Structure 1
Amino acid sequence: MKSVVVTGVSTGIGWGATKVLTKAGFHVFGSVRKEADAQRLKQEFGERFTPLLFDVTDVAAVKRGADEVRAALKGKTLFGLVNNAGIAVSGPLLELPLDEFRQQMEVNVTGPLIVTQAFAPLLGADTSLKGAPGRIVNISSVGGKQAAPFVGPYSASKYALEGLSESLRRELLLFGIDVIIIGPGAVKTQIWAKAEEVDITPYLNSPYYPSLVKFRTFFLKSAKTGLTPERLGRAILKALTVKNPKVRYAVVRQRLQNWTIPQLLPKRFVDRLIGRNVGLLKP
């Protein structure tokens, strides 16, 4: 049975990937931070799932997880690694607490690198292992190519992950390990459901407050009509198994409207369009 490591599987895209991969016959080693989630997922996915308890920013814990997987593989290579775990920090950049920005980058950028360094030997960087080299799938976002106001920390982290992925893909040519990006649009996950709970009253006296209210309303509507985690799971399965994968997959609802056209439009035009829609144009 082929094995895949997926980070952040308690809910959302990671959970969807685990569901799809286990049904397709893979064994999934999935990272969670809470023992309760580990037990719940073991009951849900059965013998094809093994929980790994670690936070992606904890180097020692991630290494322990890699050691556990190495022991289970018994000298064979790991088929795939899916760097999915992440958080979303929002707020106007000029007024954002810097500790929140640092945390965003630590989890969404440094975290995937920590995990990749720990598991790359199992994917084939350790040439003593038997089997073909594995693949890495990094979960980015439309926000890694098209930045929006008030989610600057999240977009910055995903832009960084895109660059990190491209550099890794070229460096890992040495070992035959491929790196593929999946950039989804809105997905029905807890990461965005929590946006409704975000307290924006600290910005009540900010000149950005009226625009923040408008943007959050728009953002929550998009999240509620987003793709299912299982849809992203199927995209991850394809990226891991297709013979000649693309370097990047944009998995977006209403692709023409939400991906293709915005990529083609002049940036200044998009600036004005967004500014008008959320009230950011100077009077």
Structure 2
Amino acid sequence: MRADQMAFLVTGASTGIGRAIADRLVAQGHYVFASVRKQADAEALNAAFGANGQAVLFDVSDLDAIEAAAQTIGDALAGRTLAGLVNNAGIALPGPALIQPLDEIEQVMNINFMGVVRCCRVFAPLLGADPSRTGPKGRIVNITSVSGKFGYPFTAAYVAAKHAVEGFSDSLRRELLLVGIDVIVVGPGAVKTPIWEKGAAVGGNKYRDTIWGKPLERLTQSLAAMDQEGLDVSVVANLVEEALTTSKPKTRYAPVPNKLVNWWLARFLPPRMVDRVVGKNLSLLP
């Protein structure tokens, strides 16, 4: 890492949005620490980044591993600040809220929300909460989702986690005014990644014989289509790079395809009207 390079940490960087963010930052001349959970992914990232980045192995649900990674990154920074933390790691496991296994809901909350909390706490000293570090104060970018503002059926755990990250980010940003670390949210709509396809594969057909079987199947098909037809990951990556480096970042970015339908109408129409539209589309109406 050169002395003139800003250094960033991106969690969940093996594929999808996280990998695109890491690639974008490296392409812009920055240094990237990229968190992954598998050694093979670490080796692939190290080969791709060369002298401009390195993979760090940790799971955001493992506090000890996060702390070990912070020690490694802190040593590499040699007394300088980390320019930014991008909390991207997450999973999606769809299911009916009343019967989805509690361990699945806890897993989603543990990774998507508590993982953000853990990383913010552990890496804050590197971002400049530790006054002994030299250089500009870093920024935290938390990747949420349109789902943090809009609750689709059968995604309650994911929605709850992303909504929690939204609220946590606002509170944390105001607390960190004291030390000069900014907190920014990027909440994409549908993006071309396999996150929902992976989640549906884990769920399989275990809800088929319940009253929610058919509506859930329709939602799964819809989510799979969004995985294929959403924004390219580069759109999100470019916005994240802007949020990390521009002199006057927004507090929240919302890259959403077809924004009128997928963002504004859902936010400003009466909730009962939105309920009926969603219910009709998914065969949820009596």
Which TM-score tier does this pair reach, normalised by the shorter chain? over 0.9
Aligned match for 1:85, one of 59, 84, 89:
89
The CA deviation at 1:193 is 3.1
Partner of 1:178: 182
| TM-score for the superposition, normalised by structure 2 | 0.96
Partner of 2:225: 221
Partner of 2:104: 100
The CA deviation at 1:199 is 4.1
Q: Report SS of the residue matched to 1:127.
A: coil
2: distance between equivalents of 1:63 and 1:198? 30
The CA deviation at 1:192 is 2.4
2: distance between equivalents of 1:223 and 1:260? 21
Counterpart contact for 1:87–1:107, Cα < 8 Å: yes
Partner of 1:137: 141
Counterpart contact for 1:195–1:220, Cα < 8 Å: no
Aligned residues: 282
Within-5 A mapping of 1:38-117: 38-117=42-121
1:39-79 C-alpha deviation (Å, 9 max, x unpaired): 01111222111111000111111011111111111111110
Read off the aligned partner of 1:270 and give its amino acid letter: V
Aligned match for 1:155, one of 150, 153, 159:
159
Aligned match for 2:6, one of 2, 7, 12:
2
Counterpart contact for 2:194–2:227, Cα < 8 Å: no
Partner of 2:123: 119
The CA deviation at 1:116 is 0.9
Counterpart contact for 2:192–2:231, Cα < 8 Å: yes
1: distance between equivalents of 2:115 and 2:122? 11
The CA deviation at 1:232 is 1.1
Aligned match for 2:270, one of 266, 270, 278:
266
Read off the aligned partner of 1:223 and give its amino acid letter: D
Partner of 2:169: 165
Aligned-pair identity (%): 47
1: distance between equivalents of 2:229 and 2:61? 31
Aligned match for 1:20, one of 20, 24, 27:
24
- 152-161 or 258-267, larger mean C-alpha shift: 258-267
Give the aligned CA root-mean-square deviation in angstroms. 1.0
Read off the aligned partner of 2:147 and give its amino acid letter: G
Read off the aligned partner of 1:75 and give its amino acid letter: G
Partner of 1:211: 215
Whether 1:243 aligns to 2:250 is: no
Q: What residue ranges of structure 2 are gaps of 5+ in the alignment?
A: none
1: distance between equivalents of 2:200 and 2:111? 21
The CA deviation at 1:197 is 2.4
Counterpart contact for 1:140–1:162, Cα < 8 Å: yes
1: distance between equivalents of 2:131 and 2:52? 26
Partner of 1:202: 206
2: distance between equivalents of 1:237 and 1:225? 23
2: distance between equivalents of 1:111 and 1:122? 17
Partner of 1:230: 234
